[in-house]
Amino acid sequence: MIDKQFDKETFKKSVKDNVKFLYRRKLEEATQEQLFQAVSYTVKDVIIDNWLDTQNAYEKQDPKIVYYMSMEFLMGRALGNNLLNLGAYGEVKEALEELGIDINALEDQEPDPALGNGGLGRLAACFLDSLATLGYSAYGCGIRYRYGMFKQEIRDGYQVEVPDAWLEEGYPFELRRPEYAKEVHFGGYVRVEYDQATGQNKFVHEGYQAVKAIPYDMPIVGYENNVVNTLRIWDAAAIEEFGFDSFDKGDYKKAVEQENLAKDIVNVLYPNDNKMSGKELRLKQQYFFVSASIQAAIEKYKKTHNDIKKLHEKVVFQMNDTHPTMAVAELMRLLMDQEGLGWDDAWAVTTKCVAYTNHTIMAEALEKWPIELFSRLLPRVYQIIEEINRRFIIEVQNKYPGNYEKIKKMAIIYDGQVKMAHLAIVAGFSVNGVARLHTEILEKQELKDFYEMMPEKFNNKTNGITQRRFLLHGNQNLAAWITDHIGPDWITDLSQISKLKVYADDEKALQEFMNIKFQNKQRLAKYILEHNGVEVDPHSIFDVQVKRLHEYKRQLLNILHVIYLYNQIKLHPEMEFYPRTFIFGAKASAAYERAKKIIKLINCVADVVNNDPSIGGKIKVVFIENYRVSNAELIFAAADVSEQISTASKEASGTGNMKFMLNGAPTLGTMDGANVEIVEEVGQENAFIFGMSADQIINYENHGGYDPDFIYNTDAEIRQVLMQLINGTFSSDTELFRDIYDSLLNTKNCSRADQYFILGDFRSYAEAQKRVEAAYKDEKKWAKMALLNTACSGKFSSDRTIQEYVDDIWHLDKVTVTKSEAAEK
Ligand code: Z16
């Protein structure tokens, strides 16, 4: 057990003091916001002692460090999570009660730091939690966006995007570190200079615009192990304060330009999940944080090591998707132009320091930058990429003489574009996918040529999630029940949760398990009533699909099926039907028109179905506004059914699927992404699988032969559902959903009819939904299934994923941190 971190009385005194010194108020006069700040500062004080101890331990033990480079970190709220990981949640809860403060209300004061879109950003956050808990030295490297993911409001059924001003009140869990500021250069040109002394060319970057990168550090608290790692996110500022200095010199315009450039770079997160935006500002963001982070890593290394050629022994950069992959060229630049290495030495170091994770096969997500833009914005980096490309093409030619197809498909620069994935694969020593099926598709399809040429680089790392946020914090009743039955080891070793399997036929245990689920459903029903004004029945089946809105995720299939059920009930009012609540939560990218229309459709269907007395409340449809990490915790805990219904092959992994499973919700899904491995763990009989396989889908895509019109013409019930999109059933404006209707059929306006195979999978989905209903009706059978889902979720901890990254890719050293004497005071 850990040393006691909090003494109740000291804690209470500190909170009172903080209220006094920060706000000149007495506790009773403080607002909830002020109390949140005061408590958070008290907690941060404790964290800082552990943070210092961790830095000291790292300095002494000199472990290898992983820099996790990511445009996104979807952290979610810190207060509750930090308290849990410090092992102080229970005591602090009591102390606060004694002060008359409700810890839940206090946690609700915290804005969600939402510096990410969805799966990729949340994965990065789970990884940091696991790295700290396992005792590995790690930095998260990212951007301190002034505005994170937008807040979603639903007005008249439409999504409206509202800016997320998460820093407005000041964020208590960050530390500004101006002493570690770095300079980042954009634009200008490269002058080649012959160096008499060495007989080498020197490349001098001139005429650039400079921006100052200022780091803010956020503590990442490991679970009861004294470790505190760092998420380092960069803010931008102009180099010289705009003032009369530049004004006098007539540099007024330049000074203002620098201010604006700095402000723009970190202003806002691009709200696209699985899609490249192609904007110049996005490229600036990428280079900005990559350059600052690598400079900082090199500087840190050089403090205690003198041979830069051994950098790879102490440093590894993991590139989260293609977004940070110019890290390859930036590291080359710094090693050559700043550290004085020649090309071959720099390349030898770089290719041992960088590794790449691929998160998608969606074509529109693959990053390709026009060479005109790239070379104008980053002339020296571009020059280096050209040289990497030149040398790589020679290698390809040597390996496949005369095969020009290979060059066309594999070159880093081709068709006037820089292909970032190719750069990452050529330079990286490791290329990994995020679920077994996804990695197989990369090897056999998307990256086939690279896999054939360098198979040793490719490997799989199936994603995972942290049980500490998504069970210990999000579902405290179930967590306590599990600990009662199998002890607390599952908190840091989720494989232990399989010990619950012995309760699969224990009626008392099953009853308790389902009672907890029911309480969580009541809690969610209350949230839905308060935030959406819709009354839902916690006795109904909570059937949930929460994730980003994207056509490949097929929220449309779900809502079309709801329409189908509605028609069935109206046609056969006497038919048996177990009451069902269909819960949706999803943000659409602000520019993704069809996705936004699907949100409108869900809300229109909800309006009609929820208010039709003739169906006797058998179906309710709810769209939860502003789905994000904090309400996700409530939603997973309350779900009965986990909808994971992507078109097979399109969802690289999925991680929501794992969070549902952990909380005892069986999967209704396709054989896609990590669903495949979930079914493998829990067994076919404890999941509801439907739809075409990835092979079938890929086969149709490559050879044609899929005909949604045939289905439309031969299946009257499906035809009726589609007709209802355009006949006024859900909107008096019959044109409102025309685009959605058209997208499913071979009409004049559609290039590829139903490219996500919604009609093709519809019958199979409806049939799987029938199996869900039958299973749910059998209370004991369902309880067993739900419990087994929790009991079989052990594989899906991000602790397991991180250990695999460490063993196969990073080779980090484990560190133990003991609390220092000084910190105990
Ligand atoms: C993203 O969230 C994902 C992939 C990607 O290329 C870009 C973004 Cl922003 C998601 C995948 O869609 C999902 O399947 C996967 O589970 C997640 O990344 C984490 O790997």
Tokens read off for 759: 């009609």
- Active-site residues, by number, are 359, 547-548, 553, 655, 659
Cα of 359 from ligand 1 centre, angstroms:
5
Cα of 119 from ligand 1 centre, angstroms:
5
Identify the residue whose C-alpha is closest to ligand 1 atom 4: 359
Kindly report the backbone phi and psi dihedral angles of residue 288, in degrees, each rounded to the nearest multiple of 5, phi listed first: -55, -55
H helix runs in 24-161, sequence order: 32-61, 79-86, 89-98, 103-107, 119-134
Residues 280-325 pLDDT 10s: 999 999 999 999 999 999 999 999 999 999 999 999 999 999 999 9
Residues 797-824 pLDDT 10s: 999 999 999 999 999 999 999 998 654 5
Task: Give CA–CA dist 382/384, Å, rounded.
Answer: 5
**Residue 119 in contact with ligand 1 by CB distance below 6 A:** yes
Query: Residue 241 carries which DSSP code?
Result: P
Tokens read off for 336: 């050559």
Coil/strand/helix, residue 703: helix
**Residue 801 in contact with ligand 1 by CB distance below 6 A:** no
**What is the best residue among 71, 273, 286 to mutate for testing ligand 1's pocket, by most ligand atoms within 8 Å of CB?**
273
Cite the beta strand spans of 239-348 per DSSP E. 315-320
Task: Give CA–CA dist 635/632, Å, rounded.
Answer: 5
Tokens 């994730």 map to which residue?
Answer: 547
**Residue 274 in contact with ligand 1 by CB distance below 6 A:** yes
In 3D space, the residue among 211, 207, 292, 197 whose CA is nearest the CA of residue 259 turns out to be 211
Residues 185-237 pLDDT 10s: 999 999 999 989 888 899 999 999 999 999 999 999 999 999 999 999 999 99
In the chain, the domains with their CATH numbers are 62-77+112-463+807-813 (3.40.50.2000), 467-796 (3.40.50.2000)
**What is the best residue among 70, 120, 358 to mutate for testing ligand 1's pocket, by most ligand atoms within 8 Å of CB?**
120
What is the pLDDT at residue 347? 99
Residues 398-429 pLDDT 10s: 999 999 999 999 999 999 999 999 999 999 99
What is the pLDDT at residue 250? 64
**What is the best residue among 123, 322, 323, 360 to mutate for testing ligand 1's pocket, by most ligand atoms within 8 Å of CB?**
360
Query: How many CB atoms are closer than 10 A to CB 220?
Result: 30
Give me the helix-helix angle, 758-777 and 555-571, nearest 10°.
60
**Residue 740 in contact with ligand 1 by CB distance below 6 A:** no
CB within 8 Å of 176: residues ≥ 6 apart: 214, 215, 216, 235
**Residue 321 in contact with ligand 1 by CB distance below 6 A:** yes
Identify the residue whose C-alpha is closest to ligand 1 atom 18: 120
In 3D space, the residue among 442, 498, 440 whose CA is nearest the CA of residue 797 turns out to be 498
Give me the helix-helix angle, 593-610 and 555-571, nearest 10°.
20
Residues 14-59 pLDDT 10s: 999 999 999 999 999 999 999 999 999 999 999 999 999 999 999 9
Segment 160-176 mean pLDDT? 98
In 3D space, the residue among 520, 774, 824, 512 whose CA is nearest the CA of residue 668 turns out to be 774
> How many residues are given for the chain?
825
Do residues 140 and 230 make contact, with C-beta atoms less than 8 angstroms apart? yes
**Residue 103 in contact with ligand 1 by CB distance below 6 A:** no
What is the pLDDT at residue 142? 99
Angle at 97 between CA 93 and CA 101, to 5 degrees: 100
Coil/strand/helix, residue 25: coil
Q: Which atom of ligand 1 is nearest to the CA of 365?
A: 6
Cα of 306 from ligand 1 centre, angstroms:
39
- Radius of gyration of the chain, Cα coordinates, nearest whole angstrom: 27
**Residue 653 in contact with ligand 1 by CB distance below 6 A:** yes
**Residue 434 in contact with ligand 1 by CB distance below 6 A:** yes
Cα of 325 from ligand 1 centre, angstroms:
16
In 3D space, the residue among 211, 147, 215, 204 whose CA is nearest the CA of residue 181 turns out to be 215
Residues 484-498 pLDDT 10s: 999 999 999 999 999
Q: Which helix (H) or strand (E) holds 232?
A: strand 228-238
Tokens read off for 562: 């709801």
ipTM of the complex: 0.99
Please report, for residues 545, 609, 701, 781, the alpha-carbon distance to residue 741 in angstroms, rounded to integers and kept in the order given: 22, 20, 21, 39
What is the pLDDT at residue 4? 57
